[in-house]
Amino acid sequence: MKLTFCGAAGQVTGSSFLFETGSTRFLVDCGLFQGSRTTRAQNYAAFAFNPKQLDFVILTHAHLDHSGLLPRLCAYGFSGPIYTTPATRDLLGVLLPDSAYLQEVEAERAARHGREFTAVYSLQDAHAALKLVRAVPYDVPFEPAPRMRVLLRDAGHILGSAIAEISIEEAHRTRKIVASGDLGQPGRPILRDPTPVTEADVLLLESTYGNRDHKPLDRTLDELVTALQRGFDRGVVLVPAFAVGRTQEFLYYLNQLTREGRLGELNVFLDSPMASEVMRITARHFELFDEEARRAAQLHASGRSAVRLSVTESVRDSMALNRLQSSAIIVAGSGMCDGGRIRHHLRHHLSNPRTTVIIIGYQAAGTLGRRLVDRAATVRIMGEDVPVRAEIVTLGGFSAHADQSALVAWARNFARPPANVYLVHGEPGSAAALGERLAKDLGWRTHLPGQGESVEI
């Protein structure tokens, strides 16, 4: 069996892993490369394989760094099934067309200003990919190819996220491959904890936060209360948030804090058509919530909430938010500030020292969000140099990714060390630190693959 790391090797983006066994070739994930201009350039490179020769794709979840190159894969001839969970299928119906639309808009804008920009794929390609999606519920085995059995387990990362367990019968033996996808932090609201896995011959384990632990949640909520109390009355509070997962969790905490009396009445504007659609999809998959989230949803539905939530759909209404001077929280995408409506709000408000920007998610190297976290004095937004005078608050406890201790705790469930452990989806320092911790605590031997590296298993 041959394994090629086509993405998310030494970086937190572009997840894509090619398996070749006998006459069967398949991918686990096919993600968009996000971040700096150099990183994004990888989206235009030729695939390391012939898409026409792929038999199928197993998709762990809907985030674009795992799913966002599926339309390009189809544009280059892939026509096999894409297996994923029902919730992920529904989310893809929003995320992939939106990604294509934004690229086409950017291409038109670039042409008007004499710049060069080529969309990675078209809206037509996105819809072609959606036609190939086959939904399989958690814990229901299926056989995508002869002598192959797959189970999707709950990863607890975002709605519909999965751990892929793949059993392959080859040369009179069965080998088990486990691809963790992105694992969620246990004990968090809304979603269930990641499912324990007890055995694997080959393990692909994410390492996004492999070098550190998150702040305790109670401390993070204390910091959020302080930031909102200070920023709400004196100016506008901007919250860049991922439409899938982070927005819903942030609104959950705002409701919790107002119910506890730690915050007064809040005016919250959700300026993301995608996020509002994701909220509707989330409501359709209520069975995936944990008990705490179900109780909170029932309270909100009954009207017993001090959070006044307004959803901004049109561009005109979004522009009108710029007239707000104080007592408003604007939650908008994208989470790393490199797209979506948050860029317009940042361009308008960053130069105002009365503005507060609250960063609640991971910011990849090269993104606008990362430059804000790194305290850049000036940032460039849509061709304009904008001085950063706003207060930037980074809250590290809201991550949807498991931290180092949680990753090691999940790994402890294995009855014996997997023969081959590959640490992926992490910057080199994070992956190396997790490897050292796994060696020290569990006696595991791990490997940090390079981009494009192939290994024989």
| Beta-sheet pairing, 24-28 with 16-21 | antiparallel
Measured CA to CA, the distance from residue 193 to residue 189 in angstroms comes to: 9
Q: Residue 378 is part of a domain; what is its CATH number?
A: 3.40.50.10890
Total structural domains in the chain?
A: 2
Residues 350 and 311 in one domain: yes
Residue type present at position 225:
V
Whether residue 248 contacts residue 190, with contact meaning beta carbons closer than 8 Å, is answered with yes
Residues 198 and 56 in one domain: yes
Reported as type and span, the H/E element at residue 283 is: helix 273-284
pLDDT digits (tens, 9 = 90+) for 77-134: 999 999 999 999 999 999 999 899 889 888 888 888 888 889 999 999 999 999 999 9
Domain boundary among 362, 382, 398: 398
Residues 353 and 307 in one domain: yes
Residues 46 and 183 in one domain: yes
Q: Residue 128 is part of a domain; what is its CATH number?
A: 3.60.15.10
Range of the domain at 188: 2-212+400-456
Domain boundary among 398, 417, 440: 398
Cα 8 to chain centroid distance, Å, stands at 13
Residues 52 and 138 in one domain: yes
Residues 189 and 225 in one domain: no
Residues 185 and 272 in one domain: no
Residues 93 and 185 in one domain: yes
Give pTM, 2 decimals. Answer: 0.90
pLDDT digits (tens, 9 = 90+) for 336-354: 888 788 999 999 999 999 9
Residues 248 and 156 in one domain: no
Residues 382 and 392 in one domain: yes
Reply yes or no on whether the pLDDT at 299 is more than 70. Answer: no
Could you tell me which residues come within 8 angstroms of residue 112 by beta carbon, excluding any fewer than 6 positions away? none
- Give the model's confidence band at 312: pLDDT under 50 very low, under 70 low, under 90 confident, else very high: confident
Crossing angle of helices 246-259/217-234, nearest 10°? 80
Rg of the chain (C-alpha set) = 22
Whether residue 150 contacts residue 187, with contact meaning beta carbons closer than 8 Å, is answered with no
Q: Is 123 left (phi over 0), alpha (psi -120 to 50) or beta?
A: alpha
pLDDT digits (tens, 9 = 90+) for 179-232: 999 999 998 877 889 999 999 999 999 999 999 999 888 999 999 999 999 998
- Provide the mean pLDDT of the chain: 91
Q: How many CA atoms lie within 13 A of 134 on its CB side?
A: 12
Whether residue 395 contacts residue 224, with contact meaning beta carbons closer than 8 Å, is answered with yes
Residues 44 and 180 in one domain: yes
